[in-house]
Chain A
């Protein structure tokens, strides 16, 4: 019985998916503008200085806030707040504990499994909040935080949107998803600062504002393979292995706790005689 989650609030039922779709579009532009901007466009011009990077830091901050506000509008009850807070604390604690071990972030294991148990909407909130909490815990707030929040929210939301499965099939599904996410998160997260490197990127691996999309894609592939793959692949593998080994019992435990949190007595007032 995945999906549903603990939220009892109504409102924004059609608005939230629409808003999410729009924010995905903004995200595609924010992460992928080095490939999308046509030469001579305004963003292509901004690519010469660091203006575009700053623009998107501001935009992504606004998007994260707006999305979280919309998702929590219509009332999020105290139980949801508490469950989200505690799971985000677990994610943040895992990130703090694993700081220093290059790329081996067991946090993704928790995000994938909890996102699966919580469903898409709460999953997104959990992913974003877990990243924010860990940034607060390590006093590491910076321009990367909104990008990380939204990307981790997507990771967690995706787990909630995977097709229904149970038992061993679900475990393999989640493990494959974990491997994919460990890599994809790295690919996407490198993009936000890659244009920022400017000319100091290695030859043949830097962002060229006036070159076409194909050249820049090739350069980015070189950049990613030479600098980041060695970090992202272990992370994806670790997530997959942990999910295979432990997701079954963790999912059961999470779902049982979430069911307990879902009781909801709606009070009704009758007219006084």
Chain B
């Protein structure tokens, strides 16, 4: 698999490519409730994370998977206790039903638990869990902080404020722990709710003092300096913003109201979105700032982004055409079919684990783990 010599060097993939990949996979998962396809999506996400997550970064995927499992469990419990939208024929258990007054129409507590209802809850829960797994995978593969480097210049100050926040937050946690420890040593109970305020004030005042020092040092280094945007460009951006958001409002009204002409709906909405997005870019066009070591966008980025888009497009098409196995039949319960074409489409996303370059730290740790007697998987594969 020699794409170009450049693509084989260890480097970090452009974070935007990973986000396109992950969102594509999530969209694919959101189109189906077929449990086998959903399991495949989770497996693909997990495998790519195993292969291409930079060493030493937090693995967000695990936390997202736990949340997904909790979501499945919650749905199953809710459907068995409160009933659901699917009424099946095969009754598994009959829970004692609580009689409710008439005005709570539709609500029931207890009653029969059907196989179909349970399966439906599990499928829906799995769909959410699969979407969460995709997002967790992206969070693990490309830290969202790296995306901050690509905010358009119109959002430069906002991006700087977020960077400041991310840098300061660990310090604040440390400060809070120090103040709390000091107060505990003086015999104050940490369980008293008023204690939160007493800890918060010294921490926040200290942080604000430091923020003024930070502002001074930022100013002396040219950060946070207002860019010389011409009055015309500011006015143009402001006008575009207003027209765009106004268009979005009108478009939404058209979508909400069934009697309005079709032109008022989606077309106006799209026009508004385009204007608003253009407003973000108009101001950013002549950004005088230089950038330090931008990430490349080369062939691997295109390939990874494409490998995530393919399953999304195929699943959207399959959902629109009502292909077999995309949304399995609920009543009566049956084993869902597994269409090979859809499996192949989702498997395309797994190629990202091979197409993306190995991150540098991971490559180094793999190289050191490599011993002469035991050739690594990397070598075997080549």
A residues within 8 Å of B by Cβ? Answer: 9, 11-12, 15, 18-19, 22-23, 25-26, 29, 33, 36-44, 46, 49-50, 54, 58-59, 62-63, 65-66, 68-70, 72-90, 92-93, 96-97, 106, 109-110, 125, 129-130, 132-133, 135-137, 139-143, 197-206, 219, 222, 226-227, 238, 241-242, 245-247, 249-250, 253-254, 257-258, 260-261
- A128–B144 CA distance with the chains assembled, in angstroms: 16
Residues of B within 8 A of A50 (CB): 30
Say whether A41 contacts B256, CB under 8 Å.
Answer: yes
In the complex, 6 of the A-B residue pairs with CB atoms within 8 angstroms, ordered by the A residue number, are A22-B245, A65-B155, A65-B280, A69-B237, A97-B176, A261-B208
Say whether B78 contacts A202, CB under 8 Å.
Answer: yes
B-side interface mostly:
helix
* Residue from the list B143, B154, B245, B257 in contact with A73, Cβ < 8 A: B154
Residues of A within 8 A of B39 (CB): none
- A29–B224 CA distance with the chains assembled, in angstroms: 35
Known pairs A137-B166, A203-B83; list 6 more (Cβ under 8 Å). A22-B249, A66-B241, A129-B158, A204-B104, A205-B82, A246-B198
A-side interface mostly:
helix
Say whether A242 contacts B169, CB under 8 Å.
Answer: no
Say whether B169 contacts A133, CB under 8 Å.
Answer: yes
Report how many A-B pairs have Cβ atoms within 8 Å. 314
B57 to A: closest C-beta gap in Å? 9
Say whether B255 contacts A41, CB under 8 Å.
Answer: yes
Say which one of B117-125, B289-297, B340-348, B368-376 lies at the interface with A: B117-125
A207 to B: closest C-beta gap in Å? 10
Known: A66-B244, A83-B208. A142 touches B166 (CB 8 A): no
Instruction: Please tell me if B207 contacts chain A, counting CB pairs below 8 Å.
Output: yes
- A88–B214 CA distance with the chains assembled, in angstroms: 15
Closest 6 CB pairs of A and B: A246-B197, A85-B164, A204-B106, A199-B85, A78-B224, A202-B82
Instruction: Please tell me if B79 contacts chain A, counting CB pairs below 8 Å.
Output: yes
Say whether A38 contacts B273, CB under 8 Å.
Answer: no
Residues of B within 8 A of A247 (CB): 197
B340 to A: closest C-beta gap in Å? 24
Which chain A residue shows the least CB distance to B205? A253
Say whether B226 contacts A29, CB under 8 Å.
Answer: no
* Residue from the list B27, B120, B197, B255 in contact with A43, Cβ < 8 A: B255
Residues of B within 8 A of A12 (CB): 234, 238
Say whether B169 contacts A97, CB under 8 Å.
Answer: no
Known: A69-B279, A89-B172, A136-B145. A242 touches B197 (CB 8 A): yes
* Residue from the list A62, A81, A242 in contact with B215, Cβ < 8 A: A81
Say whether A202 contacts B161, CB under 8 Å.
Answer: no
| Chain B interface residue number, banded | 35 or more
Residues of A within 8 A of B283 (CB): 69, 73
Residues of B within 8 A of A204 (CB): 83, 104-108
Per-residue CB contact flags for chain B residues 105-138 toward chain A (1 = under 8 Å, else 0) read: 1111000000000001100110000001001000
Say whether A41 contacts B108, CB under 8 Å.
Answer: no
Residues of A within 8 A of B189 (CB): none
Say whether B60 contacts A140, CB under 8 Å.
Answer: yes
B residues within 8 Å of A by Cβ? Answer: 27, 30, 58, 60, 63, 75, 78-79, 81-86, 104-108, 120-121, 124-125, 132, 135, 139-140, 143-145, 152, 154-155, 157-158, 160-173, 176, 193-194, 196-198, 200-201, 203-205, 207-212, 214-216, 218-219, 223-226, 229, 234, 237-238, 241-242, 244-246, 248-249, 252-259, 265-266, 273, 276-277, 279-280, 283, 319
- A182–B160 CA distance with the chains assembled, in angstroms: 29
* Residue from the list A89, A135, A205 in contact with B207, Cβ < 8 A: A89
Say whether B210 contacts A86, CB under 8 Å.
Answer: yes
Residues of B within 8 A of A18 (CB): 242
Say whether B85 contacts A201, CB under 8 Å.
Answer: yes
Residue of B58, B83, B107 most packed against chain A (CB within 10 A): B107
Say whether A78 contacts B219, CB under 8 Å.
Answer: yes
Residues of A within 8 A of B234 (CB): 11-12, 73-74
Which chain B residue shows the least CB distance to A12? B238
Residues of A within 8 A of B254 (CB): 42
* Residue from the list A73, A93, A226, A254 in contact with B172, Cβ < 8 A: A93
Residues of A within 8 A of B166 (CB): 89, 92, 133, 136-137
Residue of B252, B257, B277 most packed against chain A (CB within 10 A): B252
Which chain B residue shows the least CB distance to A18? B242
Say whether B86 contacts A199, CB under 8 Å.
Answer: yes
Which chain B residue shows the least CB distance to A49? B319
Residues of B within 8 A of A203 (CB): 82-85, 106-108
Residues of B within 8 A of A129 (CB): 158, 161-162, 165
Which chain A residue shows the least CB distance to B193? A241
A226 to B: closest C-beta gap in Å? 7
Say whether A66 contacts B280, CB under 8 Å.
Answer: yes
- A137–B205 CA distance with the chains assembled, in angstroms: 22
- A80–B214 CA distance with the chains assembled, in angstroms: 11
Residues of B within 8 A of A75 (CB): 226
Residues of A within 8 A of B30 (CB): 50, 54
Residues of B within 8 A of A242 (CB): 193, 196-197
Residue of B161, B193, B210, B223 most packed against chain A (CB within 10 A): B161
Which chain A residue shows the least CB distance to B145? A136
- A87–B207 CA distance with the chains assembled, in angstroms: 8
Say whether B212 contacts A198, CB under 8 Å.
Answer: no
Say whether A26 contacts B249, CB under 8 Å.
Answer: yes
Residues of A within 8 A of B161 (CB): 81, 84-85, 88, 125, 129
Which chain B residue shows the least CB distance to A39? B258
Residues of A within 8 A of B207 (CB): 86-87, 89-90
Residues of B within 8 A of A139 (CB): 58, 60, 63, 139-140, 143-144
Residues of B within 8 A of A87 (CB): 204, 207-208
- A25–B194 CA distance with the chains assembled, in angstroms: 39
B273 to A: closest C-beta gap in Å? 6
- A2–B58 CA distance with the chains assembled, in angstroms: 41
